[in-house]
């Protein structure tokens, strides 16, 4: 079955320190991978995506993610965390059997808490 796993319910990091939010996936074929973020009382906002090409993808707000095919991972990273990065982060992969549409399979989400 196609799936996405986010093994950490919550990640705590001090402001200024690097952060990593983990994501692994299990899909057939070449994955289309996405990260979305949800701030309180807001909708999901797109951060970045990997479709093809360079394994290191840069996105909004200084975030980046590294696609690792052998480990089937797509971890989200940021070199220096800000308190304002505190939010709920979702990893997603396109369902390869969706006929080319954007039907996404999401992970359960990871809550990032950045402490001053």
Partner 1 sequence: EAGVTQFPSHSVIEKGQTVTLRCDPISGHDNLYWYRRVMGKEIKFLLHFVKESKQDESGMPNNRFLAERTGGTYSTLKVQPAELEDSGVYFCASSETISGANVLTFGAGSRLTVL
Task: Indicate which single residue of 41, 54, 70, 116 sits in contact with partner 1 (rule: CB under 8 A).
Answer: 41
* DSSP per-residue codes, 36-98: EEE-TTS-EEEEEEESSS-SEEE-GGG-EEEEETTTTEEEEEESS--GGG-EEEEEEEE-TTS
Task: Indicate which single residue of 19, 27, 34, 85 sits in contact with partner 1 (rule: CB under 8 A).
Answer: 34
Task: With contacts defined by CB under 8 A, name the span among 14-22, 64-72, 77-85, 90-98 that binds partner 1.
Answer: 90-98
Does 90 bind partner 1 (CB under 8 A)? Our answer is yes
Does 65 bind partner 1 (CB under 8 A)? Our answer is no
């Amino acid at each position: 079955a196609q799936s996405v796993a986010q093994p950490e319910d919550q990640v705590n990091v001090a402001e200024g320190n690097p952060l990593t939010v983990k994501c692994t996936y299990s899909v057939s074929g070449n994955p289309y991978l996405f990260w979305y973020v949800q701030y309180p009382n807001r909708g999901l906002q797109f951060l970045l995506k990997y479709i093809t090409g360079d394994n290191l993808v840069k996105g909004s707000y200084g975030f980046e993610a590294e696609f690792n095919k052998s480990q089937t991972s797509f971890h989200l990273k940021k070199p220096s965390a800000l308190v304002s990065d505190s939010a709920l982060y979702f990893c997603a992969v396109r369902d390869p059997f969706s006929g080319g549409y954007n039907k996404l399979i999401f992970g359960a989400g990871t809550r990032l808490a950045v402490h001053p």
